[in-house]
Structure 1
């Protein structure tokens, strides 16, 4: 008996099917509602679907179910597609007491806990193409719960917890006597699923990570997976897909505890971002994560080439944004602050010879950190010296503005001496260095004059220490009073320095006399002790 095909169905523009409306509507409430009780004699019945799950293949699978009296073999290979079709077509109707397609597919999904890992992956990969039906029907949540539950169980059965350091191997043994082979095995137990989940699209990976976070997964392991995911997907991804993958990875990393994210790996993907047109929001997230742990960076990390539309050799603006994020965390531990200060001294010295670096940018780098960050300004002075040498055409006003970023109080005696005789620096800075040097010499002489030998300390040690300080002070005074060609305005300073030199010489005489007296006292004390020992021996 021929079956009348009175319904034309256009499936997603892929293919056109001619089916029997009565048979399809007996299982699909959606078709029944569309055409009501229209008789088969009615012609030109047509329906167009734009988002039918599975496209033409899915519609053909549904018709096979309907034309076979509601019977079809359901397995992990097709359950996700049938489940989504059933919800899309409202197939909760049954004929002749048979279970409808929704009930049959749900019953199959109840066996999910007995599926193999491979079968579960097959279902999830199919869900990628069935969104949003897989999402709205609850299928995706069921599959993700099963997947993450298995990963959590595997993590719990691992004998060793994961380490908190993102740059380490991910799993560290609690006992140092374990073999390297055991360490490798434990690392594999924590990361064996990386390759399998890397096959998912960015949307599905986001859902997986969100579920992992709700299950309190180790953030360092998640971050390692995300770096692996971005790197592995880039190998085969088209250029237009790379941006989506990159932004998804950064967005998920930003949702983690930043302390568990490897700073080295962040700099790695930052260099990848140079060739992508990522959104400003994504770039800000990446830079914020790097800036928050800038104390873990190296000089090589910071030497990022500048964008093609700028004239600088290195991307100075990027480093300034890093510093802003670093200081924007609030109260920064002093140890981290000093570490970043040392790093910035190296960076400023590296970018100073760039002839295209504007004075305003150079000064912004110098003054980015608070004064409390560094113990010495010698590194900044050397960088300024290089910068002024390369930018010899700067006006005195610009040079003075640059020198405002120098903390003269934190310059060593040698640096002050060099600056005062450095023709590249403005005279105002040289005078400031002289005044600072004068203050340091005064302090040095006061400390030397106040130091007295302890009762039980060897005189030679005290004298040697004092003499070294006085020699240093005297040497510096000679340099300033003899070698510098001071102007008439500084004659008073010259006289004062010469007076200080005389005072050092007087102190040397006093200390030599004190040394002689202390030596006699020590000799007398030793002689008395020897006599006492001799008497005690005779008595015994």
Structure 2
């Protein structure tokens, strides 16, 4: 068996020769330390060797075989037509593959990502991916002059005011979904990070609405997955969230409706963006608080506000941002905010987990001069006190339990 395998594996042949010189005895087994491609990679390599140097290459196995071949020294110097040259030839035809195949090829690198990166394979695949997307964009363009073959698929050709506005509906988050968005959703956050950095659009360098829309689509698809996969690299997701926020800030209210901004906030804040980016997004939302409706403010709580059902602290911050951005000629906007905050107070008042200081803080977040009437506040207080009384009555009326 050693003879069959050693006919193709230069690294193994070298190890066996060294061991024979050292021990002068027949070797029954050899350990290959730090093999990056795991048992599945070695199984494919063994199949190649026992099949006389033949293997059916595909987009789903070529990355694994290529990295295995490099590590094991399966070059043409060891045997003509060896595995490395076969995988290299196969990868050269990447530009003829359909986009899902390029994505699959990149996806299979997840388990040996650092090694594939060190070989330059990831950069080759990411570049091929961008070429395929750009080519598809050119082919789908109504006017062949609208995009040149050398242009990036993330270049925004339109003027800012002609870009599609990112809105929100309960059934579909909004924003145009490009033909390639769902294919790339399968990729790991590390692969997406590499793609964004290849474009030179990472973090504050993001000036593409198309890339921003893709990142929002990608992170929205991953949000439930991340909640159950705490071992995933949070730093990478945080960086992608920051990149998306920078794009949203650049697009501003020209590209994003108010409800769109709130949807963006709900999606991205679950990925741990930096405090500076989160505050900037809150500033955009807070300054347009007069456009909010009650259900816009009913963001699920995260432990703040005494463990309340809704994120009361967020609403308090948004109100303060709005008040600080106001001038004397915007009384109509202030009245709209007063109305929605009074509705919000009535909505949160039955929440028995909401403590009194936090309830009062919401009520006092607007200046007294903003209200013509305090009827809305009084109604909310009545509900809050009634619920609190009922809870106390229930607690005191329960029979005492014995600790025996």
TM-score normalized by structure 2? 0.64
Moved more, 341-350 or 153-162: 153-162
In 1: Cα distance, 2:70 partner to 2:329 partner: 56
Matched, 1:132 2:110: no
Judge conservation of contact 2:66–2:88 (CA < 8 Å) in 1: yes
Equivalent in the alignment of 2:178: 191
Moved more, 205-214 or 68-77: 68-77
Equivalent in the alignment of 1:433: none
Which among 318, 343, 346 is matched to residue 339 of structure 2? 346
Q: In the TM superposition, what is the alpha-carbon distance from 1:139 to its structure 2 partner?
A: 0.8
In 1: Cα distance, 2:31 partner to 2:357 partner: 67
* RMSD of equivalent CA atoms: 4.8
**Cα distance change, pair 105–327 in 1 and its aligned pair in 2 (3 A):** farther
In 2: Cα distance, 1:263 partner to 1:35 partner: 70
Equivalent in the alignment of 1:254: 242
Q: State the secondary structure of the residue aligned to 1:130.
A: helix
Which among 61, 65, 73 is matched to residue 82 of structure 1? 65
Q: State the secondary structure of the residue aligned to 2:30.
A: strand
Equivalent in the alignment of 1:109: 91
Judge conservation of contact 2:298–2:311 (CA < 8 Å) in 1: yes
In 1: Cα distance, 2:167 partner to 2:370 partner: 32
Deviation sequence 1:402-441 (CA, Å, 0-9, x none): xxxxxxxxxxxxxxxxxxxxxxxxxxxxxxxxxxxxxxxx
Structure number with higher relative contact order (C-alpha < 8 Å, ≥ 6 residues apart)? 2
TM-score normalized by structure 1? 0.50
- Stretches of structure 1 that go unaligned for 5 or more consecutive residues are 6-18, 170-186, 394-540
Matched, 1:302 2:285: no
Equivalent in the alignment of 1:475: none
**Cα distance change, pair 389–61 in 1 and its aligned pair in 2 (3 A):** closer
Judge conservation of contact 1:30–1:89 (CA < 8 Å) in 2: yes
Q: Between Structure 1 and Structure 2, whose CA radius of gyration is higher? A: 1
Judge conservation of contact 1:263–1:290 (CA < 8 Å) in 2: no
Q: In the TM superposition, what is the alpha-carbon distance from 1:144 to its structure 2 partner?
A: 0.8
Q: In the TM superposition, what is the alpha-carbon distance from 1:81 to its structure 2 partner?
A: 1.9
Which among 40, 53, 57 is matched to residue 40 of structure 2? 57
Equivalent in the alignment of 1:436: none
Deviation sequence 1:308-331 (CA, Å, 0-9, x none): 78365643212124456x579xx9
Equivalent in the alignment of 2:370: 377
Aligned pairs for 1:460-539 (under 5 A) are none
In 1: Cα distance, 2:164 partner to 2:109 partner: 33
Matched, 1:293 2:285: yes
In 2: Cα distance, 1:224 partner to 1:245 partner: 22
Deviation sequence 1:469-510 (CA, Å, 0-9, x none): xxxxxxxxxxxxxxxxxxxxxxxxxxxxxxxxxxxxxxxxxx
Judge conservation of contact 1:306–1:316 (CA < 8 Å) in 2: yes
Q: In the TM superposition, what is the alpha-carbon distance from 1:143 to its structure 2 partner?
A: 1.0
In 2: Cα distance, 1:318 partner to 1:243 partner: 28
**Cα distance change, pair 327–139 in 1 and its aligned pair in 2 (3 A):** farther
- Stretches of structure 2 that go unaligned for 5 or more consecutive residues are 147-157, 170-174, 387-404
Aligned pairs for 1:359-378 (under 5 A) are 360-361=357-358, 364-365=361-362, 368=365, 377-378=370-371
Deviation sequence 1:236-260 (CA, Å, 0-9, x none): x596238959996664242132234
Equivalent in the alignment of 1:206: 193
Judge conservation of contact 2:74–2:82 (CA < 8 Å) in 1: yes
